[in-house]
Structure 1
């Protein structure tokens, strides 16, 4: 499993526009991507910085996806909010935890 982390500075006042565009477009861009797992859009509003974390079954699957017309179209819409070029890194996921999956397996996360 691989994490694709994209960081980009956005123009002041465009964070909500970018988020709305991402929410509207992203589901349709990955709906036929069988190796896509999840995506999170994170915002550091104090620094106008956006981080997108996507989980893919393989790095090659993401690379193929990143050259598709649907991805390129979505990026052209998102780029309207960018204040510079995005930085993209692809790294192997060595551990993955979610509260719901851990709870289902009986793993405790502290008191309660």
Structure 2
């Protein structure tokens, strides 16, 4: 049991270092706009749970917390996705990849044209 806790602690420290080293530029106002534009979890649509920032390309694979790489996700979807790329995870869950990507592009276009 102690080795599992120490592995978890090492993984947490590595993740913190990766996040601190990356150029993360998602502002609180941008996060709020993303949540409003999606209207719930970007993956399952649930609206009655707190949303978490989920990187479409995970930080462990070179992703960053940026407006174009983050989608709001409920806890279960975010935990299930883990460090998989979004398209791989959507396929494994047999979810409609095309619908998600189309919606993602629409949200990005909406945020690009909205006043800052």
Q: Which interval holds the TM-score relative to the shorter structure?
A: under 0.3
Q: TM-score, normalised by structure 2?
A: 0.27
Q: TM-score, normalised by structure 1?
A: 0.28
Structure with the largest fraction of strand: 1
